[in-house]
């Protein structure tokens, strides 16, 4: 496992603060009366200008709506699962990030709009991810030329899908890239306290509330298919994990990386100085976002030569 730092320019504070204000311009409109539908609309609109100009092709991935993004004749494929706490986020909100990752890796990418809570609680999202993954295999996509990727809740979902495929005896992809993965729905990491003053967005009570909406009142937050930190990562493919230094969920990424490495998984783990949650989504403002996606692409080109 690599050291928990990343090279590159130090974060330009003004740029990061401008990104934070951009995010807060959306979050500040929400209150306990705001519906999930309204939050999803606002979040998609935040990235709408970047997303609308990116070519994509609609797909029915085993009954799950999705989009192909990137060069369809590429000899690498990425299966991307978006973040958003299992309540917001979509292919539309993540289309720029997916396109940047696909371009960096020389790959085509399939991203899906899996079902969201609270209308569709666990395990609906995982069931959709599995259906789409089975569909990709049935289309003749070679798992040796396939990588799985996800950010935040989508990163945790990506790991859960790997666990599920392993248990079912399905072939695993060749590699995984995880951006700020949410791996612990109990929010037990020390970083939830130590970095609370640094993280401008995600605090422990908020994440616990999101977990309850995803799992329901009777759901088990220690279920490895909901919180992969509590599972066994042995046998998973090589992976690169990136997280921002200012995130409360640093330990979600770090502890999972350590557990995976102890289980024999080839893990590269990076903490990016001065960065916030899924900073890779802001390439126009942050040089670090562009650098990080470049490193993700290098990793995938190496893992799938």
End-to-end CA distance of the chain: 21
- Where helices occur in 178-228 by DSSP H, the ranges are 191-194, 204-215
Give the containing element (helix H, strand E) for 271: strand 267-272
Active site residue 234: no
Q: CA gyration radius for the chain?
A: 17
Q: How many CA atoms lie within 13 A of 65 on its CB side?
A: 8
Give yes or no for a contact between 256 and 267, defined as CB atoms under 8 angstroms apart: no
Active site residue 152: yes
What contacts 189, CB < 8 A, 6 or more positions away? 248, 249, 250, 251, 252, 254, 255
- From the candidates 93, 104, 108, 152, which is the catalytic residue? 152
* Secondary structure of residue 261 in the 3-state scheme: helix
Nearest to 85 by CA among 223, 181, 229, 165: 181
Active site residue 247: yes
- From the candidates 67, 247, 270, 288, which is the catalytic residue? 247
The catalytic residue positions are 152, 247, 277
């Amino acid at each position: 496992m690599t050291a928990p730092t990343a090279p590159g320019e130090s974060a330009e504070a003004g740029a990061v603060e401008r990104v934070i204000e951009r995010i807060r311009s959306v979050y500040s409109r929400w209150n306990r009366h705001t519906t999930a539908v309204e939050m999803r609309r606002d979040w998609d609109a935040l990235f709408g200008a970047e997303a609308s100009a990116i070519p994509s092709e609609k797909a029915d991935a085993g009954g799950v709506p999705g989009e192909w993004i990137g060069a369809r004749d590429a000899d690498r494929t990425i299966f991307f699962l978006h973040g958003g706490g299992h309540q917001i986020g979509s292919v539309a909100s993540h289309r720029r990030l997916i396109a940047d990752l696909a371009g960096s890796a020389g790959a085509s990418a399939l991203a899906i709009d899996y079902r969201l809570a609270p209308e569709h609680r666990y395990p609906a999202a995982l069931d959709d991810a599995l259906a789409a993954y089975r569909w990709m295999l049935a289309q003749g996509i070679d798992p040796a030329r396939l990588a799985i990727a996800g950010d935040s809740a989508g990163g945790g979902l990506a790991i859960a899908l790997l666990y599920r495929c392993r248990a079912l005896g399905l072939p695993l992809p060749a590699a995984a890239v995880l951006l700020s993965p949410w791996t612990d729905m109990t929010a037990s990491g020390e970083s939830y306290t130590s970095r609370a003053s640094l993280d401008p967005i995600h605090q422990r009570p908020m994440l616990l509330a999101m977990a309850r909406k995803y799992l329901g009142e009777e759901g088990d937050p220690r279920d490895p298919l909901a919180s992969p930190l509590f599972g066994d990562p042995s046998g998973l493919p090589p992976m690169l994990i990136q997280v921002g230094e200012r995130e409360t969920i640093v330990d979600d990424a770090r502890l999972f990386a350590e557990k995976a490495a102890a289980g024999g998984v080839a893990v590269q783990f990076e903490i990016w100085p001065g960065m916030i949650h899924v900073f890779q989504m802001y390439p126009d403002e942050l040089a670090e976002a562009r650098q990080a996606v470049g490193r993700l692409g290098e990793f995938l080109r190496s893992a799938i030569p």
